[in-house]
Chains A and B, each alone.
Chain A
Amino acid sequence: MTQALLVLWILCAIFIILENRIYRVIIYFGIFSLITSLAYLLLGAPDVAMAEAAISAFCTIFFIICIEKYYSSRDNVKKEEERGSKKHLFRGFVKLLPPLALCAGLFVLFVYFIPDSPMSTYLKYQYLMRFMQDVGGENAVTAIYLGYRVYDTLFEALILVISVVAVSHMSYYEASQVKDGKHSEIENSGMAIFTMRLICPIIIIFGAYLIMNGHISAGGGFQGGLAVATFFICRYLIYDIYDIPVNKVIKLEEIVFISIIIVTAFAVFLGAAAYMPTAFLPFYHNIYLIIMNVLIGMKVACGFFVLFYRYIAIERR
């Protein structure tokens, strides 16, 4: 049944490439990422599927905001009819042919030269058989990204911090300007506001559950942090104001990043991490995993909150 899903997936990708109008592309991209993450789930990568599902919503929002900003900053917008002709569609398909041929050739090569015997099995033994006693927890992905490859996680966190700082400095405004941002002309209807008030606590409780339960089942800091950031977006939709001081959130994120580094260093020196086998009891392993997941979740939530509020402030200034 995965193969049938992948056929739909490829069809959707072709429609994305051949489409010229930008709003339709966004909607097709939403469908594409939904099907992508279902395929991840069926192929046995639950953590990636959850991250993809949470990211697709954020991608949609950021795309819309950037496109609206682009159109509102341009002086004369070209008419849409010029771009939506049949001839253009055919030309796009002709342009598509060489990369398609290249992909087909690579696929044939991959099928014919696939190695029949497995490579070295030492790493497989190291990572898959021993992660429970090395790092603790029942989720092998968590064991890898918080135990064996914790330095990679540090650098990923650093990249997120850099992007947040860059966005917040490029879109710098005075506090009063942002506070008096243009409110939405169409306020949400009363029914929508009431319903989102009902759904908000469920979102934040579920995000906390994902973060705290990340070392046992699928989930973890990144996914839970995205869910918590979704809560803040809902809050914006309900109240439609910028009453949270963004600068303090940026400060909080930097503090959390520094504490991530400190916790990792302590873990290395005290021996709670994986590469020092004779160390603490498994109980302490779990505490280390939970603390790291909570810190990463806080960092991701703060980062996406800052990105969203800055983009919205640009758009509706």
Chain B
Amino acid sequence: MGIENIRHLIGNIIIYIGAAFMVFGVVGLFRLKDFYPRILVASKIDTVGVLTLITGFAIRHGLSFFTGKLFLIMVIMLILNPLVAHIVARSAYLSGHKVNGIAGGTPALPELDENGE
């Protein structure tokens, strides 16, 4: 059993851990009844899952051109995924989307569609 096989084994284990993270995120996405807990769970679990998966692939492929590009994708995901979650949640908050009947950012918003359309 060479160093190659050990590296593949560790990489596979980390990849499966990342996939498991994402599956738990889906459970949260369907069980929670409100928008804000949903976006909290989904974005957080998704970012961590993707980063773990990419780390697993990087370990699997060793030090090569492939790993360099994977590192670039990792940096971009680390920057952009929380940004999109932040902007979506901010848009919902500014528009006065309610949390279980408690008003959000702007208190009184009469005669508006509940779903933001």
Contact = CB atoms under 8 A, between A and B. Distances in A.
Interface of A: 21, 23-24, 80, 186, 188-189, 191-192, 195-196, 198-199, 202
Contact of B76 (A21, A191, A199): A199
Contacts of A202: 72, 75-76
Interface string B73-113: 00110011011001100100010000000000000000001
A188 B87 CA distance: 9
A195 B83 contact: yes
Interface in B20-75: 72, 75
6 contacts: A80-B113, A186-B94, A188-B87, A189-B90, A191-B86, A199-B80
Classify the interface of chain B: helix, strand, loop or mixed. helix
A3 B48 CA distance: 30
A202 B113 CA distance: 39
B4 interface: no
B1 to A, nearest CB: 31
B70 to A, nearest CB: 15
Nearest to B76: A202
A-B pairs, 4 with minimum CB distance:
A195-B83, A23-B117, A21-B117, A198-B79
B79 A199 contact: yes
Contacts of A21: 117
Given A191-B86, A198-B79, A202-B72, 9 more contacts: A23-B117, A24-B117, A188-B87, A192-B87, A195-B79, A195-B82, A199-B76, A199-B80, A202-B76
B117 A195 contact: no
Contacts of B86: 189, 191-192
A189 B86 CA distance: 9
A192 to B, nearest CB: 6
Contacts of B79: 195, 198-199
Nearest to A21: B117
A21 B90 CA distance: 23
Nearest to A185: B94
A192 B83 contact: yes
Contacts of A199: 76, 79-80
A137 to B, nearest CB: 20
A96 B78 CA distance: 43
Contacts of B80: 195, 199
A105 B48 CA distance: 48
Residue in B75, B83, B90, B113 whose Cβ sees the most chain A Cβ within 10 Å: B83
A186 B94 CA distance: 9
Contacts of A198: 79
A90 to B, nearest CB: 21
Contacts of B83: 191-192, 195-196
A202 B69 CA distance: 13
B111 to A, nearest CB: 11
Nearest to B95: A186
Contacts of A186: 94
B56 to A, nearest CB: 20
Contacts of A80: 113, 117
B110 to A, nearest CB: 15
A201 to B, nearest CB: 12
A92 B77 CA distance: 40
A82 B31 CA distance: 32
B71 to A, nearest CB: 12
B79 to A, nearest CB: 6
